[in-house]
Structure 1
Amino acid sequence: MRLATWNVNSLNVRLPQVLQWLAENPVDVLALQELKLDQDKFPQAEIEAAGYRAVWYGQKTYNGVALLARAPLSLEDAVAGIPGYDDPQRRVIAATVNGVRVIGAYCVNGESVESDKYAYKLEWYARLHDYLAAELGQHPDTVLMGDFNIAPDDRDVYDPVAWEGKVLCSRPERDAFAGLLGLGLADAFRLFNQDDKQYSWWDYRAAMFRRNLGLRIDHILLSAPLSARATGCVIDKAPRKWERPSDHAPVVVTLAD
């Protein structure tokens, strides 16, 4: 079973790339973030024509998340948003696929540590933590994947000194990420790859991708039973080289049966 996450930074713009990537990489489940589409504008027909079923939680201009499952797999018991949290921003969607509870998330960016959005980010992460704890209690086989907007440690940042204390790298954010791991989850990428300079996001400006000046902020977190099944996790940088790319690259994990 192969699962992937990708912040596409507008599905309207990036739909041809998503379809191309799925044709070349027929993963079983794909979590998408930053759809930037109203709920009724999701390209369901195109996704289904590509052999995938979908559930989505759209929002115009910003946010929006979706889960795609390769037919004949189905998306069961889908839930949009964090239950009990009245959040106007559409950032979370969950469903069960082939016995695995899959949670896709577009986590809050936070803008800057001085911003009200940063306080919202920390509150949002606390809500995510509690939600995930409840899900793990019901579903031992759980994966949380998406754009976390957190670089967990200095290996995940091209210039740790320049980024120290800034949003995406601040200590409270990293503590929030560590809190998720404390629930018994594992960072799938770090189960296999301990090298430096491995990133999933590069700013569009200043040739950051060409110079490999990026951050690893897109993650796949696996519960213990799924970690035991994991056989590999990679960042696929190929789509970042395409014309009009997303600023993020897909991350893919493979689980043994």
Structure 2
Amino acid sequence: MATLKIATFNINGIRARLPILLQWLETEKPDIVCLQELKAADSAFPADDIRNAGYGVIWQGEPSWNGVAILSRDSDPLEIRRGLPGNEKDSHSRYLEAAVQGVIVGCLYLPNGNPQPGPKFDYKLDWFEHLIKHADSLLNSEHPVVLAGDYNVIPTDEDIYNTRSWLKDALLQPESRECFQRLLDQGWTDALRAKFPDERIYTFWDYFRNHWKTNSGLRIDHLLLSKGLKPKLKNAGVDRWVRDLPHASDHAPTWIELKV
């Protein structure tokens, strides 16, 4: 039975980390990739380099901040929407949805929300509400759907090395966690946690206080599966070697394999 490998990767600046991206694509050969935090205008997105690596691509850029893209190996993603329904006033490039190799893929970069409390945290929660509403409609469509990206949410205390210095951070506030749990309660499966129910597994290690070398990480990059895809989940993991490269992103690519 064939497999479909879907990955999410907060690249943290695609122009600065293009060589790392291309190295990872060549080494791991994911079938579908969701990128976040491009930090590049549409015109500065390196589409030709990605296509030369064997991937079709759609993207929504934004100068200096945000930005999302969907890559498909040996095929072109069919764009469905940019931005979340009902949230047209949002000028940030944070959500891109496409039909890719038989699956609907939503690539998202949820707002960070810091400092909290304040307008940035209010924006995070408002954006989350629009995502929850749209996710419910996707689930009810009964199409195979993967919602992949940087959710900027630490779901539980088991998803962080230590909560002590993060207690005031927007990523683990009760409101943020409650929104993520409401998504799961709709019927989505947190793929990485489903494969590693009892392990501490991280996707992000910030640049401060030697957090990478001490494995002081967070799990904030998630791939949520619609109901029909749950039994097709074969494997999942984090490509930690990418985080160890010189000038790496503070995130590592996180991936799943589905039986198709």
TM range (shorter): over 0.9
State the match for 2:84 in structure 1.
82
Count of residue correspondences: 256
> 1:220 aligned to 2:214?
no
State the match for 1:59 in structure 2.
62
Q: Per the alignment, in what secondary structure is the counterpart of residue 140 of structure 2?
A: helix
Deviation at 1:163, TM superposition (A): 2.7
The amino acid across from 2:222 in the alignment is: H
Match of 1:192 among 191, 195, 203: 195
State the match for 2:37 in structure 1.
34
Point out the more displaced range, 165-174 or 182-191: 165-174
Stretches of structure 1 lacking an aligned partner (at least 5 in a row): none
Match of 2:186 among 177, 180, 183: 183
Give the superposed CA RMSD.
1.2
State the match for 1:25 in structure 2.
28
Q: Per the alignment, in what secondary structure is the counterpart of residue 158 of structure 1?
A: coil
Q: Per the alignment, in what secondary structure is the counterpart of residue 138 of structure 2?
A: helix
State the match for 2:95 in structure 1.
92
Contact 1:7 1:33 in 2 (8 A): yes
For residues 78 and 237 of structure 1, the distance between their equivalents in structure 2, rounded to whole angstroms, comes to 31
Q: Per the alignment, in what secondary structure is the counterpart of residue 197 of structure 2?
A: coil
Identity of aligned residues (%): 37
State the match for 2:154 in structure 1.
151
Point out the more displaced range, 109-118 or 140-149: 109-118
The amino acid across from 2:84 in the alignment is: I
For residues 211 and 130 of structure 2, the distance between their equivalents in structure 1, rounded to whole angstroms, comes to 33
Contact 2:113 2:120 in 1 (8 A): yes
For residues 189 and 173 of structure 2, the distance between their equivalents in structure 1, rounded to whole angstroms, comes to 21
> 1:108 aligned to 2:102?
no
Deviation at 1:191, TM superposition (A): 1.0
Deviation at 1:84, TM superposition (A): 2.8
Contact 2:86 2:130 in 1 (8 A): no
Contact 1:156 1:215 in 2 (8 A): yes
Contact 1:55 1:78 in 2 (8 A): no
TM-score normalised by structure 1 residue count: 0.96
TM-score normalised by structure 2 residue count: 0.95
Contact 1:202 1:209 in 2 (8 A): yes
> 1:207 aligned to 2:210?
yes
Q: Per the alignment, in what secondary structure is the counterpart of residue 207 of structure 1?
A: coil
Deviation at 1:136, TM superposition (A): 2.3
Deviation at 1:165, TM superposition (A): 5.1
For residues 167 and 196 of structure 1, the distance between their equivalents in structure 2, rounded to whole angstroms, comes to 24
Match of 2:248 among 245, 248, 253: 245
